[in-house]
């Protein structure tokens, strides 16, 4: 698995909208976020069609494809950030020029619905992509230090690093109200003990499941899965979706589950009930309430990279990224 060149200060980051349009953020919010990234030392450019907005808050498939292609084709662009998630990123997958993208490997980072694009590119083009902050995520003020630290470790540095739990977490709508945030003490939890190394795949569970039966789905045999879902899921839906994914592979070596949003009504009792249904999950390391997904803050991890999970130390070592 190839590793795109690391991001350095002064590099150009291209912002694209392969799912929801940047129009949902409003122009002034986009400009504020651009200034934040510039202050961090980057140059920021935008896809030509990111503000187009149709009945489903997106642009046309072809215009999204054009922006993706231009971002990978432009030699000045060193990394690509997605504006935000959404629902329809998988629409673009049949129309991408994977040969061109494979010839121009570069950082692609986003989460949620972007799981479809990242996973497809890693599968078809044989280079690592990243699940981490959207462009819009950088406008968050409180808890940004944890998020930014791991973004930099994963995308700018070359040495292996350890992922450890944030001391706090929040499920606030910070993008509406930055001032009145509510934080709780955070910790990762262990469902089953163990230590294991392997190749990492994952991201948003319901989005990853959309790729089953397509040419964009990777072989998950003997991988380590990182899975999360958003506020639209509930325990019954998560149970169904997890079962579907586990049935799509012969075995996995480890599992990390991102922290659930409050609206999902997922309790520890419900989660253990779901995990107890699968004998495999009692025999491999399984962590939950891990800092990725739709609560804040989140770390960045490499799709297609290699990690080592150690539940005793509550630590995930990222070794190939």
Q: Per residue in 5-28, pLDDT tens? A: 999 999 999 999 999 999 999 889
Q: Per residue in 74-105, pLDDT tens? A: 999 999 999 999 999 999 999 999 999 999 99
Q: Which residue has the tokens 């991001």?
A: 7
Whether the pTM exceeds 0.95: the reply is yes
Q: Which residue has the tokens 């992509």?
A: 129
pLDDT value of residue 26:
87
pLDDT value of residue 32:
95
Q: State the first-to-last Cα distance of the chain, in angstroms, to the nearest integer.
A: 10
pLDDT band at residue 167 using 50, 70 and 90 as cut-offs: very high
Q: Per residue in 306-319, pLDDT tens? A: 999 999 999 999 99
Residue from 63, 136, 166, 228 carrying the catalytic annotation: 228
Distances (CA, A) of 102 to 82, 111, 126: 19, 21, 7
Kindly report, as residue ranges, where domains of CATH 3.50.30.60 are found in the chain. 161-320
How deeply is 259 buried, as exposed, middle or buried, from its count of CB atoms within 10 A (0-12, 13-18, 19+)?
A: buried
Residue 49 annotated to the active site:
no
Torsion of CA 247, 248, 250, 251, to 10 degrees: -80
pLDDT exceeding 70 applies to what percent of the chain? 100
Q: Which residues contact 66 (CB under 8 A, 6 or more apart)?
A: 47, 48, 49
**23-51 average pLDDT score:** 96
Angle at CA 62, nearest 5°, toward 99 and 113?
80
Residue from 63, 69, 134, 294 carrying the catalytic annotation: 294
| CATH no. for 12-139 | 3.40.50.10740
pLDDT value of residue 110:
98
Secondary structure in 3-state letters for the chain:
CECCCCCCCCCEEEEECCCCCHHHCCHHHHHHHHHHHHHCCCEEEECCCCCCCCCCCCCCHHHHHHHHHHHHHCCCEEEEEECCCCCCHHHHHHHCCHHHHHHCCCEEEECHHHHHHHHHHHHHHCECEEECCCCHHHHCCCCHHHHHHHHHHHHHCCCCEEECCCCEEECCCCCCCCCCCCCEECCCEEEECCEEEEEEEEEEHHHHHCCCCCCCCCCCCCEEEEEECCCCCCHHHHHHHHHHHHHCCCCEEEEEEECCCHHHCCCHHHHHHHHHCCHHHHCCCEEEEECCCCCECCCCEEECCEEEEECCCCEEEEEEC
How deeply is 194 buried, as exposed, middle or buried, from its count of CB atoms within 10 A (0-12, 13-18, 19+)?
A: middle
How many C-beta atoms lie closer than 10 Å to residue 30's C-beta? 21
Residue from 19, 112, 118, 170 carrying the catalytic annotation: 112
Kindly report, as residue ranges, where domains of CATH 3.40.50.10740 are found in the chain. 12-139
Q: Per residue in 197-246, pLDDT tens? A: 999 999 999 999 999 999 999 999 999 999 999 999 999 999 999 999 99
**252-273 average pLDDT score:** 98
CA-closest candidate to residue 260, choices 210, 315, 189, 154? 189
- Strand 301-303 and strand 306-310: the pairing is unpaired
Residue 228 annotated to the active site:
yes
As given in the structure block, the two tokens for residue 151 are 């973004």
Fold of 161-320: Glucose Oxidase; domain 1 (3.50.30)
Please give the backbone phi and psi of residue 257, each rounded to the nearest 5 degrees, phi first: -115, 125
pLDDT value of residue 109:
98
Q: Per residue in 181-208, pLDDT tens? A: 999 999 999 999 999 999 999 999 999 9
Res 250 pLDDT > 90: no
Residue 112 annotated to the active site:
yes
> Residues 262-294, buried b or exposed e (16+ Cβ, 10 A)?
eebebeeebbeebbeebeebeebbbbbbbbbbb
């Amino acid at each position: 698995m190839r590793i795109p060149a690391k991001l350095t200060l002064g590099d150009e980051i291209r912002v694209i909208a392969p799912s929801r349009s940047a129009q949902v953020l409003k122009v002034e919010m986009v400009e504020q976020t651009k200034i934040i990234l510039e202050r961090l030392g980057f140059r920021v450019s935008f896809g030509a069609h990111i503000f187009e907005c149709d009945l489903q808050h997106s642009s046309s498939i072809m215009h999204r494809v054009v922006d993706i292609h231009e971002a990978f084709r432009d030699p000045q662009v060193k990394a690509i950030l997605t504006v935000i998630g959404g629902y329809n990123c998988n629409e673009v997958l049949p129309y991408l020029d994977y040969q061109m993208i494979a010839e121009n490997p570069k950082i692609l980072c986003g989460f949620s619905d972007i799981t479809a694009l990242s996973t497809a590119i890693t599968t078809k083009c044989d280079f690592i992509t990243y699940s981490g902050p959207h462009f819009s995520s950088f406008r968050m003020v409180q808890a940004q230090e944890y998020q930014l630290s791991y973004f930099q470790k994963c995308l700018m540095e070359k040495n292996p690093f350890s992922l450890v739990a944030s001391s706090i977490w929040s499920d606030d709508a910070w993008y509406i109200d930055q001032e009145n945030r509510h934080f709780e003490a955070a910790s990762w939890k262990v469902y089953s003990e163990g230590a294991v190394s392997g190749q990492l795949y994952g991201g948003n569970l319901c989005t990853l499941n959309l790729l089953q039966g397509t040419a964009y789905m990777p072989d998950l045999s003997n991988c380590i899965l990182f899975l999360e879902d958003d506020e639209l899921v509930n325990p019954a839906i998560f149970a169904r979706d997890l079962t579907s994914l586990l049935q799509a592979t012969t075995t996995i070596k480890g599992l990390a589950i991102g922290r659930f949003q409050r609206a999902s009504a997922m309790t520890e009792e419900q989660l253990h009930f779901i995990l107890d249904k699968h004998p495999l999950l009692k025999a491999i390391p399984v962590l939950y309430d891990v800092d990725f997904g739709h609560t804040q803050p989140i770390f960045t991890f490499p799709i297609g990279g290699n990690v080592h999970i150690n539940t005793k130390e509550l630590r995930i070592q990222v070794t190939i990224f």
